[in-house]
Structure 1
Amino acid sequence: METTDAFIGLTCVDCGETFDAETGTHRCPDCGGILDPDYDYDAIDLSRRDLESRPFETMWRYAELLPFARDSAVTMDEGATPLVECPALAEEMGVGRVLFKDEGRNPTGTFKDRGQTVAVTAAAQHGATDVALASAGNAGQAAAAYAARAGLASHVFLPARAGFTNKAMVNVHGGDMTVVEGRIGDAGAAYADAMETEDWYSVKTFVTPYRHEGKKTMFYEIAEQLDWDVPDAVVYPTGGGVGLVGMHKAAKEFRDLGLTDDLPAMYAAQSTGCAPIVEAWDEGEDAHEAWETPDTICGGIEIPDPGASPMILDALRESDGGAVATSDEDILDSAVAVAQKEGLEMGATAAAAASGAWELAQRGEFDDDDTVVLLNTGAGNKDDDVLRSHLMGMGV
């Protein structure tokens, strides 16, 4: 494999065993735990000046802290998304600044591209011919796109409720799509059945070690865009929690390398219709209990049984953050409010971050001089039908 100099392999977050990246491809072969890319940080010589001298045009500018070099990556120049000032929202929330990290500007319209560029690069370097995953929608579209870029076949299992755009674009990218009646768990079961007989390379969340590794670059960019000042809070719409786990890892890396001074408080935002992380947080648990009856319009965060919940909860505790759940109505209202007050288009699922931030502000969680970053994980036009239907239901 063509790896970067400091990348030394994969470490199991459960049993601590380490594996060479050539042979360790997915879950820990010893205990089934999640594998996390590991680096010799002493070998990384990276300064603020080094980064500032590079064009701000792709997440691969942080290659020293990624497993693969840019010239070997399956990439469409994802990342380098804007961090947009939102003065009207800051005034309403009673904080110093609100900033909107707009991941909707990525090639397929969501932050999923950051994870799939690294995961599909790993697949290509391992000699895969086919990649596969179950997805609520956006990750499936991204996987099909990056597989096409790499010349690989893709097999995407989606629940029937996945959005039309996702289904259409999986087809457009040439993916083999299986639409399963029910919800994400049903799609996951169909995917698991297929994987028992097919020799496909999984790019499923926290099965491949590389999706959270790509998403950590969101924090690198935020820190640099804020002139190396760490935001007081990052509010993230949380389903599987891949981006939250990745950003927390990135914040620790930048701090330990001396590029920043502190960690941002990470907040997981969920819907009250499916909030296993919030429930576990409120009860002081180290892991979640599966949500028995998920019921939310926010399909991207309707993950009733997030397998990485211990990592998510650790990130919340280590960063002195928290978790918050708001109703679907409040979430959709927030997407509309962001569009009407700031002109920014927020995906319906992503708007859990805005709704959650408003709720946290009302609870007094933020100080009046805090800088709060909202992660807009997907473009508004991914869910335009949902947002329009919400407006029509309000008589607008």
Structure 2
Amino acid sequence: METTAAFDGLVCTDCGERFDPTAVTHECSDCGGVLDPNYEYDRIDIARDDLENRPFDGMWRYEELLPIPRESAVTMDEGTTPLVECPNLADELGVGRVLIKDEGRNPTGSFKDRGHALAVSAAREHGASDIALTSAGNAGQSAAAYAARAGLDSHVFVPSRANFVNKAMINVHGGDMNVIGGRFPDAAAACADAMESEDWYSTSSFSTPYRHEGKKTMLYETIEQLDWDVPDGIVYPTGGGVGLVGMHKGAQEFEQLGLTDEIPALYAAQSSGCAPIVEAWEAGEDIHEPWDVPDTICGGIEIPDPGASPLILDALDESGGGAVATPDESILDSAITVAQHTGVEMGATCAAAASGAWDLAERGVFGADDTIVLMNTASANKEADILRSHLMGKGI
């Protein structure tokens, strides 16, 4: 396995055991905990000027802070997505600035490309012939695309409610799509059953150490795009929380390397129809209770049993952020408001970030001079039918 110079193996986030990344590929073999890439930060010599002098040409510009070098990467120039200024939203929220990090501009239309670029690169480095995962939709499309680019076979298990665009593109990329009746946990169970008899390399969230690692680059870019000013808050639509955990790690790394002197407050935004993270946060718990009856149109964040909730809750706590849940009606209204007031196309699921930001603003969480970033994690084109149906239901 070809690695970058400072990459120093994998560390279990539960028991602290360290593993050789050439020998261990997924969960901790001692306790089953989530593994996290570790680095010797004193070997990373990078300054703001170094980054500013590089082309803004994708997430591999941060090669020193990734496990696998650019030359070994399975890449389609993912990353370096726009950070769009939205003055009308800033006025409406009563803050200094609102910006939308538009991850819908990635190769397959979602931030999942950052995670799968790295996870599929690792799979290829480990000699895998097949990858497999459970997905609510976007990750499955991304996995099929990156597997195709790497010359690997992909096996994707999606719940029947996954949107048509994702399902269609999994097929178009040549993926073996398995549509499972029910919801995300049913698809996860089917995937686990299939993998018992198959030698497939899992790229499911937090099963691989590399999905959240790729997504930390969203934080790097955001701070650079703000001319090194750390935003006061980042609101993230939260299901499994992979991106939120990754961004928290990225913020800590920039601070440790002396590139910034603080970390942004991170806010998890969920639908009130499936809000296990919000429920745990408000109760002061360090782990969630599974949500018994999930009921939300926002399929991408309908994750009733997020396995890495301790990492998510730690990120919220350590960053000084929080968690917020809003009804589907408010989420869909927010997607339409963003589209009509800014031109930015925010997906129905992703608009939980906008709806959550409005709720937080109304509660006085943000200051009048604050800079707030909303994470638009996927293109609205994938869920355009949901938004259009919502408008029709209002007689528009």
Normalized against structure 2, the TM-score is what?
Answer: 1.00
Alignment of 1:306-345 (within 5 A): 306-345=306-345
- Matched AA of 1:126: H
Which deviations, in whole Å up to 9, do the C-alpha atoms of 1:104-132 show, x marking residues without a partner? 00000000000000000000000000000
Tell me what 1:54 maps to.
54
Q: Report deviation, 1:24.
A: 1.2
- Superposition RMSD in Å: 0.3
How far, CA to CA, are the matches of 1:63 and 1:264 in structure 2?
Answer: 23
Find the residue that maps to 1:263 and give its secondary structure: coil
Match status 1:158 vs 2:158: yes
Tell me what 1:68 maps to.
68
Tell me what 1:122 maps to.
122
How far, CA to CA, are the matches of 2:383 and 2:376 in structure 1?
Answer: 13
Tell me what 1:93 maps to.
93
Identical counterparts, % of pairs: 74
Which deviations, in whole Å up to 9, do the C-alpha atoms of 1:42-77 show, x marking residues without a partner? 000000000001000100000000001111100000
How far, CA to CA, are the matches of 1:73 and 1:190 in structure 2?
Answer: 30
Alignment of 1:193-204 (within 5 A): 193-204=193-204
Tell me what 1:110 maps to.
110
Q: Report deviation, 1:87.
A: 0.2
How far, CA to CA, are the matches of 1:21 and 1:368 in structure 2?
Answer: 46
How far, CA to CA, are the matches of 2:97 and 2:19 in structure 1?
Answer: 43
- Matched AA of 2:322: G
Which deviations, in whole Å up to 9, do the C-alpha atoms of 1:203-254 show, x marking residues without a partner? 0000000000000000000010001110000000000000000000000000
Which deviations, in whole Å up to 9, do the C-alpha atoms of 1:177-199 show, x marking residues without a partner? 00000100110010010000000
Tell me what 1:253 maps to.
253
Tell me what 2:147 maps to.
147
Tell me what 2:20 maps to.
20
Alignment of 1:1-396 (within 5 A): 1-396=1-396
How far, CA to CA, are the matches of 1:348 and 1:159 in structure 2?
Answer: 18
How far, CA to CA, are the matches of 1:118 and 1:295 in structure 2?
Answer: 32
Which deviations, in whole Å up to 9, do the C-alpha atoms of 1:358-378 show, x marking residues without a partner? 000000000000000000000
Unaligned runs of 5+ in 1: none
Find the residue that maps to 1:62 and give its secondary structure: helix
Find the residue that maps to 1:383 and give its secondary structure: helix
How far, CA to CA, are the matches of 1:162 and 1:233 in structure 2?
Answer: 30
Which deviations, in whole Å up to 9, do the C-alpha atoms of 1:308-345 show, x marking residues without a partner? 00000000000000000000000000000000000110
How far, CA to CA, are the matches of 1:359 and 1:72 in structure 2?
Answer: 44
How far, CA to CA, are the matches of 2:389 and 2:199 in structure 1?
Answer: 42
- Matched AA of 1:390: H
How far, CA to CA, are the matches of 2:177 and 2:319 in structure 1?
Answer: 39
Q: Report deviation, 1:261.
A: 1.2
How far, CA to CA, are the matches of 2:113 and 2:155 in structure 1?
Answer: 17
Find the residue that maps to 1:235 and give its secondary structure: strand
Unaligned runs of 5+ in 2: none
Which deviations, in whole Å up to 9, do the C-alpha atoms of 1:151-204 show, x marking residues without a partner? 000000010000000000000000000000010011001001000000000000
Find the residue that maps to 1:38 and give its secondary structure: strand
- Matched AA of 1:267: Y
Number of residues of Structure 1 aligned to a counterpart in Structure 2: 396
- Matched AA of 2:246: G
How far, CA to CA, are the matches of 2:256 and 2:30 in structure 1?
Answer: 30
How far, CA to CA, are the matches of 2:176 and 2:263 in structure 1?
Answer: 41
Report runs of 4+ in structure 1 exceeding 3 Å deviation: none
How far, CA to CA, are the matches of 1:213 and 1:326 in structure 2?
Answer: 28
Find the residue that maps to 1:253 and give its secondary structure: helix
How far, CA to CA, are the matches of 2:70 and 2:291 in structure 1?
Answer: 40
Which deviations, in whole Å up to 9, do the C-alpha atoms of 1:11-47 show, x marking residues without a partner? 0000100001101100001100000000000000000
